């Protein structure tokens, strides 16, 4: 069978399609899944370009959606023909993480082989059901971006109707957060450097938008929009380069989810400002399987569909990653086969 793998030391010109042995039939507690789609995340780009070192020949991509072909003995949660979607941390089933998850040792497409492959046999705990009626590409957006937004706002943030959410940028996490927040009856502010993207965000329901290049003090502008109170939740995607403005925008006692590192892995934290706001700054990396199941249950009761910017074929995975690297997308980028 065909699989898309990376060759060390990494780089988009070092990706190749390789032949891999068929994984065979599932053993006890396992499922065999025919994969049909993946979606791209910043983490995948870091692995593919060698910025996150991975083993030579590693099968790429953390997100995977497909259909169950067979189940092993003892499996009752799934049956053949069920549509499923992968879990980012298959070893983290529920509750709080007991060990640091930042090593990515058990993450598909990084510490273990990913889902850019035709078939996979994995533990039953490596998947959840996909939302009813969703395409494979749509379902593939849940694993990383969708679950991150859900955990930030609902599982950790206890989002409620009437809250105000600030989401930075128009990538997969922020657009998913916009959709979740509007579903929950919250107001949403979106930032971007592109007026065209901001107008698209308005069309999806964003209540306020701000071009951060035109307004470098966007944190103050956002706070002013709330009458000086500040927003209840911030999805902080940028990292050290944007954190000060996020703290400026948040209300006293508000919640900042530190999700992204687009401006770097380290930098100065305005501790005095954070203390004065008495805000909660929480780092998070995706979520656990139970949270994904809760997210899917909520999606099954809604009319939400993920925003997919572009779709590529399996053979076009390097092209898709190059498109992602340009940073011009709105929502998710998917690969289907």
Number of domains in the chain: 2
Domain membership flag for residue 106: yes
pLDDT tens for the 337 residues of the chain, in order: 999 999 999 999 999 999 999 999 999 999 999 999 999 999 999 999 999 999 999 999 999 999 999 999 999 999 999 999 999 999 999 998 766 655 799 999 999 999 999 999 999 999 999 999 999 999 999 999 999 999 999 999 999 999 999 999 999 999 999 999 999 999 999 999 999 999 999 999 999 999 999 999 999 999 999 999 999 999 999 888 899 999 999 999 999 999 977 656 677 778 888 999 999 999 999 999 999 999 999 999 999 999 999 999 999 999 999 999 999 999 999 999 9
Bridge-based pairing of strands 119-123 and 332-336 is: unpaired
Domain membership flag for residue 151: no
Mark out the alpha helices in the chain (DSSP H runs): 42-48, 136-140, 147-150, 172-183, 195-203, 218-225, 243-249, 271-277, 289-300, 317-326
pLDDT confidence of residue 277: 95
pLDDT confidence of residue 269: 79
Could you tell me how far CA 58 lies from the centroid of its own chain?
21
- Say if residue 44 is in the same domain as residue 131: yes
pLDDT confidence of residue 151: 98
Q: What angle do CA 101, 311, 192 make, to 5 degrees?
A: 65
Q: How far is CA 172 from CA 178, 237, 253, 262, in A?
A: 10, 11, 27, 14
- Say if residue 7 is in the same domain as residue 139: yes
- Say if residue 216 is in the same domain as residue 279: yes
pLDDT confidence of residue 97: 79
- Say if residue 187 is in the same domain as residue 260: yes
Domain membership flag for residue 313: yes
- Say if residue 34 is in the same domain as residue 126: yes
- Say if residue 38 is in the same domain as residue 87: yes
Range of the domain at 31: 2-145+287-336
Task: Give dist(CA 8, CA 54) in Å, integer.
Answer: 8
Q: What is the pTM of this model?
A: 0.95
* CATH number of the domain to which 181 belongs: 3.40.50.720
- Say if residue 104 is in the same domain as residue 163: no
């Amino acid at each position: 069978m065909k699989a898309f793998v990376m060759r060390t030391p990494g780089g988009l010109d070092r990706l190749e399609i390789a032949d891999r042995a068929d994984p065979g039939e599932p053993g006890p507690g396992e499922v065999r899944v025919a994969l049909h789609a993946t979606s791209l995340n910043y983490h995948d780009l870091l692995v593919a370009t060698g910025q996150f070192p991975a083993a030579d020949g590693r099968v790429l991509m953390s997100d995977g959606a497909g259909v169950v072909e067979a189940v092993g003995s003892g499996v009752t949660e799934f049956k053949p023909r069920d549509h499923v979607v992968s879990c980012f941390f298959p070893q983290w089933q529920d509750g709080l993480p007991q060990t640091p998850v930042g090593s990515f040792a058990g993450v598909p497409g990084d510490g273990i082989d990913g889902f850019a492959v035709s078939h996979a046999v994995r533990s039953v705990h490596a998947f959840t059901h996909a939302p009813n009626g969703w395409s494979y590409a749509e379902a593939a957006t849940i694993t990383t971006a969708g679950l991150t937004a859900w955990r930030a706002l609902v599982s950790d943030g206890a989002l409620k109707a009437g809250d105000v959410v600030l989401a930075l940028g128009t990538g997969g996490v922020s657009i998913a957060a916009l959709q979740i927040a509007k579903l929950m009856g919250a107001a949403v502010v979106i930032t971007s450097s592109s007026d065209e993207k901001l107008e698209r965000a308005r069309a999806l329901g964003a209540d306020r938008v701000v071009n951060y290049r035109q307004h470098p003090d966007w944190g103050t502008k956002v706070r002013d929009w709330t009458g000086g109170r500040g927003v209840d939740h911030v999805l902080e995607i940028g990292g050290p380069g944007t954190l000060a403005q996020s703290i400026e925008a948040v209300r006293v006692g508000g919640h900042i989810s530190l999700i992204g590192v687009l401006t770097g892995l380290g930098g100065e934290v305005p501790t005095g400002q954070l203390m004065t706001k008495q805000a909660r700054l929480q780092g998070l990396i995706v979520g656990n399987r139970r949270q994904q199941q809760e997210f899917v249950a909520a999606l099954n009761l809604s009319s939400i569909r993920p925003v997919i910017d572009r779709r590529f074929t399996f053979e076009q995975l390097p092209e898709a990653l190059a498109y992602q690297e340009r940073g011009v997308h709105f929502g998710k980028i998917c690969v289907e086969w």
